[in-house]
Structure 1
Amino acid sequence: MRGKEILKWLFVLGFIGGISGVLLLGGVFAYFSTQVPDFRSLADYRPSLITKVYSSNGEILGEYARERRVYLPITDIPQDLINAFLAAEDTSFYEHHGYDMKGILRAALVNVFTDRKQGASTITQQVAKTFLLSNERTYKRKIKELILARRIEDAFSKNEILELYLNQIYLGNGAYGVGAAALAYFGKSVDELTVGERAMLAGLPKAPSSYNPVYRPAVARQRRDIVVRRMETEGFITKEQADEAVASDLVLRLTPMANGEKAPFFAEHVRRELLDRYGENALYEGGLATLTTLDMELQRHAEKAVQTGLRSYDRRHGWRGPVGRLTALTLDWQNRIKDEAEKYRHLQDFAVPAAVLEVSDAAATIGLENGTRAQIPLAGMTWARKYIDATTMGDRVRKASDVLQAGDIVFVQRMDKNEGFEKVPDREKKYSLEQLPAVQGALVAIDVATGAVKAMVGGFDSSSDFNRAVQAKRQVGSAFKPFVYAAALEQGYTPASIILDAPVVLRSGDLDDAWKPQNYSAKVYGPSTMRLGLEKSRNLMTIRLAQDIGIRKIIDFASRFGFDRADMHPNLATALGASSLSLLDLTAGYRVFANGGVYSKPYLIERIQDATGQVIWQHHPVCSSCTGLDATPTQSPPSAEEEGERLVTPEIAYQMTDMLRGVVLRGTGMRARAVGRPVGGKTGTTNDYIDAWFEGYSPTLATGVWVGFDQPQPMGNSETGSRAALPIWVEFMQNALKNRPKADFTIPEGVTFARIDAVTGKPPTANTTQTLLEVFIKGTEPTTGSLATGRVLGKRGSDGNTEEPANLLSQGIY
């Protein structure tokens, strides 16, 4: 009896204890159930998504996000990938109701009786923890997690839970969700992954850092293989598939987010515009898709042209020396060059760093990043006379040791990648000495018809965020003169009007302060046509013209072109380009002449869509013939400026175009004839050769180029717009127009052509030796006189440009 009594009491005590435990556990759960967050917020889940900026042809220019995530509906995630995560994280997912009691008990026993720590969180519990709880490792948090998991299972379907999980989970390498991870590690979409790749991703949630294949490939492979075998055990894959996956190498194709390597200045300008328009949260979390105006083919041509032009300027002024020195030549040159190469990786198409190992009279031996050695022959460094100042260089280079010595760290480029070394034997195996230009430059290209910015270069490279095409305001020099001449046309002048080219003295009350402007040649030429004054960029004629019109009227006129009135001071120096303008604004002003007198603000963004694909903003083309985007309701209606504003008549715009074509044919812009298309343009050079400009356009593309130092300083004698900026413009326009149909400027109905004496601007007489076919607004052309018997200027060539007798181009008489 005594034994039975004991058993009876043990049973009673056990029963009471069990009931008490259940009641206690129920009380605990009831207590914490009032303290858990509202799980219903999951129904309004709005993940942080990547904002992407695209070129006009769909290339990604930039990606901006706090978390790298590509949101995928569950229907877009392959079942094979889902199965991999189920095998790794929750094999009973479809059977349990939020938590796996068997798994919890098993994990508890392991944790109590062994030194190992084992978790038992289901995918639903992980969703609860990730979205609604903290990462603290306490029993309170675990109880809340179980409560929330049960409630989530009651409210959401299994597929909805999986969709939340697979898009939110952190998988290392900056990737959130399976869509971003597939891109980050393998450069693939989720439906392109192999069995092994799916297993590797599925093995990451447990410990993304510990199993990161980038930094711990061996451990990551072991974890991958464990997941593969679990997939086999669960029947998700066959043994053959598992064996093949385990035998495969772990091959990564790391794909970082696009951070503006393509068109960095353009992409950054768009980013700032999005930030101003929508704010930080929308930019870095909203998943906006922004289609821009950028033409990547033109952008590449623009970047190449700017780098080539700045390199040419830099070489004209000599060698500034190595960028560094080695301290232990035989020991660390490879590591040092690897470090330098990583620093300048974005410039590898221009030049790469190298260590000078040996120097003879005929060549220098260099060491490259990959450990190989190569040579810089003397022919690759003859340009490198010592830089002394902007106007002075050292003696001619006669041997390699005049330039280099062992231990120098320099920049080099393979000879076959640059022009000028075609006659060097085996040039594909040899290198030329390079240096990164100290001078800077910028280029902007705008579609004439729409105002869309098609290319933008804000500097030699992206090492600085300062966008010289937009943020810099520099004196424009003679590139401003077309606006003075256009104002004169509006006041009734014609291209044939005579203006006196003679000395001008402007006094401010003190004779010592008298301003005596001069022509670039320091000569005077007497009475000349207004056309000739623009073609030859005559300062004295421009001053007299501005005196007659009035500088305030000129400022009023120029401000209509989008120039800030505050940048134009009411003195005659403004007529010669003393005002400071941005390259983008000046190019947009020139575009007006090409566009028949109509102005619209240049723009970079065509369309913005939210994360659902809804168009929330759209630019409206300004020309009726333009093919635009679909007529989708937008956030903002088109503004008045987007409709385009007529600034001058089509007739005046065409007269200016014809005069600017004359600048190319006979004046300071003659190098632009190399484009081989109808183009007009104007050079600009400021005092002491501090700034060099060329602004010009074809019937379809308006392009501006600026060259100068960030801290204004002389660039050297003769570094004019024609020499420093125009070659960049020519190289770009040649490539930009190469595959476009040839077209001439449209002649408006309100103009007519009349032959005049090229010197007097009057109708030809029997004594006329040179004539010119001039453009007039109907009713203003000469009506008397007889045809001359001398040379005729103005015959149209097959390329649309005017052909002139070669010997006349150097006489200064037109």
Structure 2
Amino acid sequence: MAINRTGSSRPNPRGEGGPSRSRKNNKLPKWFIILAWLAALGSLAFGALLAGVLVYYDNQLPDFRQLSEYKPPLITRVYDRNGEIVAEYANERRIWVSINEIPKPVIESFLAAEDTDFYEHGGYDLKAIIRAALVNTMTHRMQGASTITQQVAKTYLLSSERTYTRKIKELILSWRIEKAYTKNEILELYLNRIYLGNGSYGVAAAAQTYFSKTLAELTMPERAMIAGMPQAPSRYNPVRNPSAAKARRDIVIRRLQSEGYVTKDEADAAIATPLGLNISPLKQGEDAPHFAEYIRQMVLKEYGEKALYQDGLSVYTTLDLPTQRRAEEATYKGLRDYDRRHGWRGPLHHMKSLDGWQKEVNAFAEKYAHSWRIGEPAVVLKVSADSARIGLSDEREGIVARSTAKWTGKGSLNSFLKVGDIIMVKAVKKDGKDYSLEQLPNVQGALVAMDVRTGEVLAMVGGLGEGVGFNRAIMARRQVGSSFKPFVYAAAMEKGYTPASTVLDAPLVFNNSDGSEWKPHNYDKKFTGLTTLRQGLEQSRNLMTVRLAQDIGLRDVSELSRRVGLKGLPITDLSVVLGSINYTLMEMTSAYSVFPRGGSYIEPTYLRRVQDSKGVTLFRAHPACEKCLASLGATPDENPVLPKMGGKEALDAQNAYLMTNVLQGVVLRGTGYSLSSLGRPLGGKTGTTNDYVDAWFVGFSPSLAIGVWVGFDTPKSLGYGETGGRAALPIWKTFAEAQFKGTPIEGFSVPQGIEFVRIDAKSGLLPGVNSQKIITEAFKEGTAPTQTTPDYVDESGYEIFNSGATGGDTERPAANDGGSGNAPNNGGGSSGNPIENLLRTFGIY
């Protein structure tokens, strides 16, 4: 081997013997080494930076473990007695469902639309982040890259601001959430919190809002539409932007196809279908506005605003929605009939020009949206003698025929309608072009229906055509007129009177302390002399009612009234027995229910049960009873006989039945005679106040107590002849007829201690030879008459002094009547009255 000067071996030219020269050639270039060192240092720096960022933001991040304790704002639902939703109250519409209750196709739709790699990534998708960063930097478009986990972090723990700081926090939280929760737990949080437009939070709420369906009922295109909304709920809102919503839905359907969830044929068929919306906004108590508002106020007062709007209470009420709907319809029909009897009052408004009529009509439609039962606003576009072309909201048009306006009494349409008039109309047929001319009644009314056995309120109409407004059923205190008389007669029964006892129906004059006189009078200006209590109540005789109260004393009448819930009756003013006292319709109906209930008074009840979102009972009206139906003798084929409910005894069972029986006579022969056509046992009493200001009918069947009031909010006359029998009774009848249709006929139960005796209807005694009308009368045992009707009766005692009074109304209190003076104290008298002296000579007094 040759050695060079430096001592190194020289390579053999043939390649033999000497060492290779490759060691020098294998050295890494300096630039590469420098680059490697820079990369290493950069990695260290990046790691340090990353660690610094994590440390920096660590103290700023919310505790992700609070997700385990998250309590979502939930909807409070008000239910009727059958479980039908009456109203919903919430700041956010949300229905929480567990992941196990969410159908798999719904989950697949959201994964296809939002996060196809959800079950693979660790909380964030790095490729998607880089792609979005490039798009956002190099174009004018903004593209998101958030995974479902990131959306959970943002929605539950962070704000929605678009900043890099928030994005960093979101990534950190997402990683932590993935380590702490399962994928299904994360998915459950997401699907229940995501905002999906129109006030709906979560998939279940969206299914209800847009399609009125449960999640299990949704079709594939419906699921796809909802799954496409999280990206931009406003832009893809199917109500406001149906075309955008459909386009987005179709994209989701194609993604479902590309992910293998559906076939091409299924996707093609789904894309060909329309959106098919069936919008179902939160129930606002539309079917029972006044009842729903009353319940809302009760819950708000008892449990607070947060509980009502966020805690998802379940409020089970006594309301029966089918009964309520019948009550609303009967009230509307009765007030409409009254209003039409009093003619056309003119249009709601007049437009000088038809320019922009659509905007004007839309504004009126929104203003009168609560009057949907009556009709809707429309503008007259063209009018002739026989028809009018009208424009409605949403640019619809229709025709009003002359035949639908006969009630106005105006003849041709163009004699009272002008182009530009805004009027109320109602579709004659659904989805038709023909409309009837309507008018907003300016009269008001109320109706209450109560379960006799339990005191539960089944229906409550507080007014017409004004939304929640003023609840006249429980807030309006009005003079009750002759509807108060039964409580005077009931007090008399407690003092030993019977339905056959006689009281003089003849003129009365009371001298007041101020020197004035009070002269109560009967409606028909007639006097019937000695008259049985039954006839007096059936024919609503004022004079004998005053005499009866004077005999038994107002203190006893007041005490009985208090026991049936009618408090505050004065004991010094005899006019109150004719109804000059003020009570609410609910108070009167509840008081009447005492008679068919057998004498016990039960406070009206509106709530059955209140539960929190976990099913814990917060309130229960009646104690829970296990195996109740079995203990009552229920069988698979027969309902049990329900036990009598509790309550305070207001009068004994026998007197309660006597009054029930007498009030049946009001229906069979008296002022409530029109109800006899219903062909079932009913009792009740009309009431009319001075100058026809208030009209009442309160009555009952064996199972239902019903009250109706009609009048103006600002008291004024309803018009001559608008008595309780004409203005209120038809509403009662319409409702009762619909309510009892197809139900078995019930009879009033007769308590022990009652006997039935045949008597002379006129004298109240046992029948005589010349008795012309014999009836079977009810008595407490031992109180039936023993005397026989005389063979001769002076008929002059039964109808005398036809013109001896100044007029009046059987059903109205005569206080403050036309200068006749005020009612005196109970001790006032009429001794020395020449008319009464004359009656004594006839042997009638």
**TM-score scaled by structure 1?**
0.87
- Which residue of the partner structure matches residue 28 of structure 1? 53
For residues 177 and 373 of structure 1, the distance between their equivalents in structure 2, rounded to whole angstroms, comes to 41
For residues 711 and 172 of structure 2, the distance between their equivalents in structure 1, rounded to whole angstroms, comes to 67
For residues 282 and 290 of structure 1, the distance between their equivalents in structure 2, rounded to whole angstroms, comes to 12
Contact 1:366 1:376 in 2 (8 A): no
Moved more, 289-298 or 672-681: 289-298
Contact 1:555 1:568 in 2 (8 A): yes
Q: 1:511 is paired with a residue of what secondary structure?
A: coil
Give yes or no for the alignment of 1:367 onto 2:390.
yes
Q: What is the correspondence of 1:211-222 to structure 2 with a 5 Å cutoff?
A: 211-222=236-247
Cα drift, residue 134 of structure 1: 1.6
For residues 625 and 236 of structure 1, the distance between their equivalents in structure 2, rounded to whole angstroms, comes to 49
Q: What is the correspondence of 1:169-568 to structure 2 with a 5 Å cutoff?
A: 169-329=194-354, 336-337=360-361, 340-341=364-365, 343-344=367-368, 347-361=371-385, 363-369=386-392, 371-377=396-402, 379-385=403-409, 397-413=410-426, 432-512=436-516, 514-565=517-568
Cα drift, residue 67 of structure 1: 0.5
Q: Please list the CA deviations of residues 645-681 of structure 1 after superposition, one character each: whole Å capped at 9, or x if unmatched.
A: 2211111011001111111222222222122211111
For residues 499 and 623 of structure 1, the distance between their equivalents in structure 2, rounded to whole angstroms, comes to 50
Q: Please list the CA deviations of residues 145-187 of structure 1 after superposition, one character each: whole Å capped at 9, or x if unmatched.
A: 2222222222211111110110001111111001111121222
Contact 1:356 1:364 in 2 (8 A): no
Cα drift, residue 587 of structure 1: 0.5
Identical residues among aligned pairs (%): 52
- Which residue of the partner structure matches residue 96 of structure 2? 71
Cα drift, residue 348 of structure 1: 4.7
Q: Which runs of 5 or more residues in structure 1 are unaligned?
A: 386-396, 418-427, 631-640, 791-812
716, 720, 740: which one aligns with 2:723: 720
Indicate how the Cα distance of structure 1 residues 34 and 642 shifts in structure 2: closer, same or farther if over 3 A, else same: farther
640, 644, 649: which one aligns with 2:647: 644
- Which residue of the partner structure matches residue 640 of structure 2? none
Amino acid at match of 1:735: A
Cα drift, residue 109 of structure 1: 3.3
- Which residue of the partner structure matches residue 798 of structure 2? none
Q: Please list the CA deviations of residues 13-60 of structure 1 after superposition, one character each: whole Å capped at 9, or x if unmatched.
A: 332232022112102202211222222221122211112222233332
Contact 1:449 1:623 in 2 (8 A): no
- Which residue of the partner structure matches residue 775 of structure 1? 778
583, 586, 594: which one aligns with 2:585: 583
Indicate how the Cα distance of structure 1 residues 349 and 626 shifts in structure 2: closer, same or farther if over 3 A, else same: farther
Q: What is the correspondence of 1:653-802 to structure 2 with a 5 Å cutoff?
A: 653-785=656-788
Moved more, 341-350 or 196-205: 341-350
Cα drift, residue 724 of structure 1: 0.6
For residues 172 and 417 of structure 2, the distance between their equivalents in structure 1, rounded to whole angstroms, comes to 74
141, 157, 174: which one aligns with 2:166: 141
For residues 507 and 516 of structure 1, the distance between their equivalents in structure 2, rounded to whole angstroms, comes to 9
Cα drift, residue 788 of structure 1: 8.1
Amino acid at match of 1:578: S
111, 117, 122: which one aligns with 1:92: 117
Amino acid at match of 2:231: K
Moved more, 704-713 or 255-264: 255-264
Give yes or no for the alignment of 1:594 onto 2:596.
yes
For residues 645 and 190 of structure 2, the distance between their equivalents in structure 1, rounded to whole angstroms, comes to 45
Indicate how the Cα distance of structure 1 residues 789 and 71 shifts in structure 2: closer, same or farther if over 3 A, else same: farther
Amino acid at match of 2:300: L
For residues 315 and 112 of structure 1, the distance between their equivalents in structure 2, rounded to whole angstroms, comes to 71
Contact 2:97 2:204 in 1 (8 A): yes
For residues 621 and 568 of structure 1, the distance between their equivalents in structure 2, rounded to whole angstroms, comes to 38
For residues 125 and 107 of structure 2, the distance between their equivalents in structure 1, rounded to whole angstroms, comes to 19
For residues 163 and 727 of structure 1, the distance between their equivalents in structure 2, rounded to whole angstroms, comes to 55
Contact 1:622 1:643 in 2 (8 A): no
Contact 1:448 1:594 in 2 (8 A): yes
Contact 2:332 2:373 in 1 (8 A): no
Q: What is the correspondence of 1:37-48 to structure 2 with a 5 Å cutoff?
A: 37-48=62-73
For residues 241 and 427 of structure 2, the distance between their equivalents in structure 1, rounded to whole angstroms, comes to 36
For residues 677 and 625 of structure 1, the distance between their equivalents in structure 2, rounded to whole angstroms, comes to 34
For residues 788 and 47 of structure 1, the distance between their equivalents in structure 2, rounded to whole angstroms, comes to 85
Indicate how the Cα distance of structure 1 residues 112 and 682 shifts in structure 2: closer, same or farther if over 3 A, else same: same
- Which residue of the partner structure matches residue 633 of structure 1? none
Indicate how the Cα distance of structure 1 residues 286 and 142 shifts in structure 2: closer, same or farther if over 3 A, else same: same
Q: 2:315 is paired with a residue of what secondary structure?
A: strand
Contact 2:672 2:725 in 1 (8 A): yes
Cα drift, residue 415 of structure 1: 6.5
Q: Please list the CA deviations of residues 574-607 of structure 1 after superposition, one character each: whole Å capped at 9, or x if unmatched.
A: 2111221111111011011011112212222333
Q: 1:643 is paired with a residue of what secondary structure?
A: coil
162, 174, 178: which one aligns with 1:153: 178
Q: Please list the CA deviations of residues 683-722 of structure 1 after superposition, one character each: whole Å capped at 9, or x if unmatched.
A: 1111111100001111121111000001111111111101
For residues 126 and 791 of structure 2, the distance between their equivalents in structure 1, rounded to whole angstroms, comes to 108
Which structure would you say has the larger RCO, counting Cα contacts within 8 Å and 6 or more residues apart?
2
Cα drift, residue 78 of structure 1: 1.6
Amino acid at match of 2:690: N
Q: 1:366 is paired with a residue of what secondary structure?
A: strand
For residues 308 and 764 of structure 1, the distance between their equivalents in structure 2, rounded to whole angstroms, comes to 46
Cα drift, residue 73 of structure 1: 0.6
Contact 1:497 1:761 in 2 (8 A): yes
Q: Which runs of 5 or more residues in structure 2 are unaligned?
A: 1-23, 633-643, 794-843
Contact 2:388 2:413 in 1 (8 A): no
Moved more, 743-752 or 57-66: 57-66
Cα drift, residue 774 of structure 1: 1.8
Contact 2:368 2:376 in 1 (8 A): yes
Indicate how the Cα distance of structure 1 residues 398 and 95 shifts in structure 2: closer, same or farther if over 3 A, else same: closer
For residues 381 and 577 of structure 2, the distance between their equivalents in structure 1, rounded to whole angstroms, comes to 56
- Which residue of the partner structure matches residue 6 of structure 2? none
For residues 627 and 341 of structure 1, the distance between their equivalents in structure 2, rounded to whole angstroms, comes to 50
For residues 693 and 526 of structure 1, the distance between their equivalents in structure 2, rounded to whole angstroms, comes to 27
Amino acid at match of 2:484: F
Amino acid at match of 2:464: F
Indicate how the Cα distance of structure 1 residues 54 and 117 shifts in structure 2: closer, same or farther if over 3 A, else same: same
For residues 776 and 427 of structure 2, the distance between their equivalents in structure 1, rounded to whole angstroms, comes to 50
For residues 153 and 591 of structure 2, the distance between their equivalents in structure 1, rounded to whole angstroms, comes to 58
Contact 2:446 2:710 in 1 (8 A): yes
Contact 2:766 2:787 in 1 (8 A): yes
Give yes or no for the alignment of 1:162 onto 2:187.
yes
For residues 485 and 37 of structure 2, the distance between their equivalents in structure 1, rounded to whole angstroms, comes to 107
Moved more, 687-696 or 106-115: 106-115
Q: Which structure has the larger Rg over C-alpha atoms? A: 2
Q: 1:702 is paired with a residue of what secondary structure?
A: strand
Cα drift, residue 110 of structure 1: 3.2
Cα drift, residue 485 of structure 1: 0.9
Q: 1:381 is paired with a residue of what secondary structure?
A: helix
For residues 478 and 621 of structure 1, the distance between their equivalents in structure 2, rounded to whole angstroms, comes to 39
Q: How many residues align?
A: 755
Q: 2:619 is paired with a residue of what secondary structure?
A: strand
Cα drift, residue 546 of structure 1: 1.7
For residues 786 and 528 of structure 2, the distance between their equivalents in structure 1, rounded to whole angstroms, comes to 27
Q: Please list the CA deviations of residues 532-590 of structure 1 after superposition, one character each: whole Å capped at 9, or x if unmatched.
A: 2211212222222222222222222111112233x657422221112211111110110
Contact 1:684 1:693 in 2 (8 A): yes
Contact 1:769 1:789 in 2 (8 A): no
